[in-house]
């Protein structure tokens, strides 16, 4: 995979997770348990947005066809947490489509487990260190990206509300992308146990950092609404006034997290995806 493309995937992945929920270690006690969340991609917002190739591609993709036809796509997300590791299980279409992502801060590995294909794709995030200089230089040369991302980050409005038993504060931002108006509404709670963002950040950057460099600066931009145990209990993304994506954290349960959530099932093909563009299987 092209390095810039992979970087974009990591940034998006970090943004989504940070916007959904955060958890890991806190001084004296680490949160262990599960957080449940519901996500909806609203088909009405997508209907008519994609023409030509998108319409053709949707004929061979039931999920895309449903969205383009105006149907909503619902997903149940469960995040299993144990200190330095988190496993994100996603179930769609009533369990017909499932997947699991595992992030390990200590080994700096990100694993995507795809049950339908009996495949596990493992990315060694420590390889980011080998290309950090190149990535930092590239980002610094395109500093407009930082300004653009900063302007797209939700800001606190001062409004407060209790949602699902959590005391929340409203964050909002409105921006224009390719002629379309995008609005993000987030209701953030803060709990010192909930530091998932730290796990993602440390897995990507390592625990020893310089405090400088484009990539570290990019991750730091997310901290005002994602760091320090801040969690989006509720989030809505609107495009031209229509709900496009919404998510809601419905429950947080402290319990012992079983090893199985962080393990690759037996019999699965393991593919190693290298940031340096080479791929090997075993």
The stretches of the chain forming alpha helices (DSSP H) are 3-20, 43-46, 53-58, 62-68, 128-141, 144-151, 196-205, 214-221, 223-226
pLDDT for 26: 34
Percentage of the chain modeled with pLDDT above 70: 66
Supply the range of the domain harboring residue 82: 3-274
pLDDT for 182: 86
Does residue 282 sit within a domain?
A: no
Does residue 207 sit within a domain?
A: yes
Does residue 93 sit within a domain?
A: yes
Say if CB 172 and CB 183 are below 8 A apart.
Answer: yes
Does residue 280 sit within a domain?
A: no
Does residue 102 carry a pLDDT above 70?
yes
Dump pLDDT digits (tens) for 8-47.
444 444 444 444 433 333 333 567 889 899 999 887 666 5
Number of structural domains in the chain: 1
Nearest to 10 by CA among 92, 99, 98, 132: 132
**pLDDT interval class at 204 (50, 70, 90):** confident
Dump pLDDT digits (tens) for 225-280.
666 778 889 999 998 888 888 999 988 888 999 999 999 999 999 999 877 654 44
Does residue 115 sit within a domain?
A: yes
What's the CATH code of the domain at 18? 2.50.20.10
**How much is the CA Rg of the chain, to the nearest whole Å?**
19
Among 12-26, 43-57, 126-140, 162-176, the range scoring the smallest mean pLDDT is 12-26
Among 67-71, 187-191, 238-242, 252-256, the range scoring the smallest mean pLDDT is 67-71
**pLDDT interval class at 115 (50, 70, 90):** very high
Does residue 244 sit within a domain?
A: yes
Secondary structure class of 165 (helix, strand, coil) = coil
Secondary structure class of 266 (helix, strand, coil) = coil
Q: What is the mean pLDDT of the chain?
A: 75
CA 76 to chain centre: 14
Does residue 87 carry a pLDDT above 60?
yes
The CA distance from 23 to 55, in Å, is 39
Among 8-22, 88-102, 214-228, the range scoring the smallest mean pLDDT is 8-22
Does residue 36 sit within a domain?
A: yes
The CA distance from 187 to 281, in Å, is 42
Does residue 140 sit within a domain?
A: yes
Q: Which two tokens stand for residue 206?
A: 């390592």
What torsion do the CA atoms of 7, 241, 147, 211 make, to the nearest 10 degrees?
-50
């Amino acid at each position: 995979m092209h390095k810039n493309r992979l970087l974009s995937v990591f940034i998006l992945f970090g943004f989504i997770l940070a916007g959904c929920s955060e958890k890991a270690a806190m001084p004296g006690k680490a949160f262990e348990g599960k957080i449940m969340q519901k996500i909806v991609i609203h088909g009405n917002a997508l209907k008519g947005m994609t023409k030509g190739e998108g319409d053709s591609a949707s004929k061979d993709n039931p999920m895309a066809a449903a969205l383009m036809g105006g149907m909503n796509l619902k997903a149940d997300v469960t995040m299993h947490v144990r200190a330095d590791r988190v496993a994100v299980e996603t179930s769609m279409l009533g369990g017909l489509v499932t997947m699991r992502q595992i992030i390990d801060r200590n080994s700096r590995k990100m694993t995507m487990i795809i049950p339908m294909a009996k495949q596990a794709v493992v990315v060694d995030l420590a390889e980011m260190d080998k290309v950090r200089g190149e990535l930092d230089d590239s980002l610094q040369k395109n500093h407009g990206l930082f300004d653009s991302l900063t302007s797209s980050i939700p800001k606190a409005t001062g409004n407060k509300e209790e949602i699902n038993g959590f005391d929340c504060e409203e964050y909002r931002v409105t921006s224009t992308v390719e002629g379309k108006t995008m609005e993000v509404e987030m209701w953030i709670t803060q709990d010192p146990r909930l530091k998932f963002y730290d796990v993602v950040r440390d897995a990507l950057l390592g625990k020893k950092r310089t405090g400088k460099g484009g990539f570290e600066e990019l991750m730091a931009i997310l901290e005002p609404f994602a760091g320090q145990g801040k969690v989006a209990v509720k989030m809505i993304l609107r495009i031209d006034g229509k709900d496009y994506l919404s998510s809601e954290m419905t429950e947080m349960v402290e319990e012992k997290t079983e090893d199985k959530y962080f393990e690759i099932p037996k019999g699965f093909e393991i593919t190693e995806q290298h940031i340096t563009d080479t791929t090997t299987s075993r």
